[in-house]
Amino acid sequence: MGSIQNQKHENETIKPLDPEEFRKQGHMVIDFLADYYKNVEKYPVRSQVEPGYLRERLPESAPYDPEPLEEILQDVQKDIVPGITHWQSPNYFAYFPSSGSTAGFLGEMLSTGFNVVGFNWMSSPAATELESIVMDWLGKMLQLPNEFLFSGGGGGVLQGTTCINPNNFRAVSTTKANAFGLTAEALRSTIEADIEAGLVPLFLCSTIGTTSSTAVDALSPLCEVAKEYGIWVHVDAAYAGSACICPEFRHYLDGVENAHSFSFNAHKWFLTTLDCCCLWVKDPNALVKALSTYPEYLRNKASESKQVVDYKDWQITLSRRFRSLKLWLVLRSYGVANLRKFLRSHVKMAKNFEGLIAMDKRFEVVVPRNFATVCFRISPIEIGKNQIVSKEEAINNFNAKLLESINESGKIYMTHAVIGGVYVMRFAVGASLTENRHVNLAWKVVQEHANALLTMS
């Protein structure tokens, strides 16, 4: 009778993870995405839809009955793709690009497929151990001091991303004279002023490659000042950390041996898909003391043996994905050799773009380029002559207009920054499909739009 009951039961239920259905549908989506990459160059880079476009196209409620994948993929193509700003387009030069890769994608697939919740060692030992191993590998590639590695008493952990509430920190001004890097003098006077005001400075976030201009703080003098006041020094190399696996860029990290923690985002410029922020600390106990939770339902022999890392105690959230798989696949599939080649090719393209700018006297590079991001503007003499605003303001406005005109065309996508009062266009090379020909074309687009705007004004 038991078996009859089972039979009946199985007819009533659904099989959401049937291996052969998974195989069939998985192949369909792989083909869909391969075709997407083949065609991505044809789409406007910055989406051209208007706010609310999707609500007009989709039904008001979830369907009651199941719908076939074929139909859903048609809708993705018809309704979703037009609303995507194509970060994987070779003509994407905005923010910092997110460099997807086949290996990163495959690693994410494996992680999603296993779908383990690796909050502690026991919940999937491989998830914890691979993460520790890969973080040691990466730390060695970056020549981080041994104190940051597990073998040296420190350790690394993968987070989603890094962010701090702006109410809890103050920005310290930088100037062109120091290439927009934070100086020890500015740090010291800010600390002193805060102490005078009754505050307790406790954390310094120094930056290797700022978001606006990829400026670099000189770590050694900053660490010296911070040490006097007992301040924790974090080195945020979210963007530029990747480049430091190349010997010619490693000097930007000089002084990191005196910092307490270091991070970079592999999802920016390291062929790893979102999200994957690599964080190292010299003293993991500092994390554990602040973040540990140990409710009864998580207690287990391995944790009590103190022989294992429970990564839940190294992060704010409890749940965590098996992120190290994608990093492992990236490191193995490309190797140190090809990762360096990849990063260098972007730096070379950015240099090429700088060279193109230099040949057109109307344009200028505003801050020195450190990596693969060029901050530039147009500064033609005609502008500002008959304006009621100041000349600098007129130039800023013109550049903002130019950038919007370029982005509206959908041919390329760049974003802006304001550095020392100067509005700049940021040309950030970093998308995985970008080749030198795209950089050359991008420059032509910039010139064409500048010509058109100048003719009109």
Which of 4, 67, 200, 455 is close enough to bind its own copies by CB under 8 A? 67
**55 near its own copies, rule: CB under 8 A:** yes
Q: Which stretch binds its own copies (CB under 8 A): 100-108, 196-204, 229-237, 246-254?
A: 100-108
Q: Are 214 and 244 in contact (CB under 8 A)?
A: no
**62 near its own copies, rule: CB under 8 A:** yes
Q: What is the CA radius of gyration of the chain?
A: 25
Residues 341-380 that bind its own copies (CB under 8 A): 341-342, 345, 348
Q: Which stretch binds its own copies (CB under 8 A): 69-77, 188-196, 278-286, 449-457?
A: 69-77
Q: Which residue has the tokens 């098996």?
A: 322
Residues 138-157 that bind its own copies (CB under 8 A): 138, 140-141
Which of 191, 256, 271, 429 is close enough to bind its own copies by CB under 8 A? 271
Nearer to its own copies, 32 or 227 (CB): 32
CA distances from 317 to 42, 110, 127, 192 (A): 40, 22, 16, 35
State how far the Cα of 286 lies from the Cα of 288, in Å rounded to an integer: 6
Residues that bind its own copies (rule: CB under 8 A) add up to a total of: 147
Q: Which residues are CB-contacts of 5 (< 8 A; sequence separation ≥ 6)?
A: none
Which of 4, 166, 385, 455 is close enough to bind its own copies by CB under 8 A? 166
**Structure letter (DSSP) for residue 79:** I
Distance from the first to the final alpha carbon of the chain? 87
Q: Are 89 and 97 in contact (CB under 8 A)?
A: no
CA distances from 110 to 88, 105, 250, 270 (A): 21, 9, 32, 19
Q: Give the DSSP per-residue string, 360-398.
A: STTEEE-S---SSEEEEEE--TTTTTT-SS-HHHHHHHH
Nearer to its own copies, 8 or 385 (CB): 8
Q: Which residues are CB-contacts of 381 (< 8 A; sequence separation ≥ 6)?
A: none
CA nearest to 309, candidates 89, 157, 442, 441 = 157
**95 near its own copies, rule: CB under 8 A:** yes
CA distances from 144 to 77, 148, 200, 263 (A): 44, 7, 29, 11
Residues 384-403 that bind its own copies (CB under 8 A): none
Letter for the amino acid at 108? E
CB 227 → its own copies: shortest distance, Å?
A: 28
Which of 1, 4, 42, 65 is close enough to bind its own copies by CB under 8 A? 65
Residue 431 backbone class (left: φ over 0; alpha: ψ -120 to 50; beta: rest): beta
**197 near its own copies, rule: CB under 8 A:** no
CB 17 → its own copies: shortest distance, Å?
A: 4
**246 near its own copies, rule: CB under 8 A:** no
Nearer to its own copies, 191 or 439 (CB): 439
* Phi, psi values for residue 231, rounded to 5°: -95, 135
Q: Are 269 and 242 in contact (CB under 8 A)?
A: yes
Nearer to its own copies, 110 or 195 (CB): 110
Q: Which stretch binds its own copies (CB under 8 A): 158-166, 229-237, 384-392, 449-457?
A: 158-166
Nearer to its own copies, 208 or 343 (CB): 343
Q: Which stretch binds its own copies (CB under 8 A): 91-99, 177-185, 255-263, 366-374?
A: 91-99
CA nearest to 211, candidates 247, 234, 236 = 236
**170 near its own copies, rule: CB under 8 A:** no
Nearer to its own copies, 321 or 377 (CB): 321
Residues 277-336 that bind its own copies (CB under 8 A): 291, 293, 295-297, 301-302, 305, 307-308, 316-319, 321, 325, 329, 331-336
Task: Give SS3 for 24.
Answer: helix
Site pattern 401..440 for its own copies (x: CB under 8 A): ---x----------xxxx-------x-----xx-xxx--x
Nearer to its own copies, 13 or 455 (CB): 13
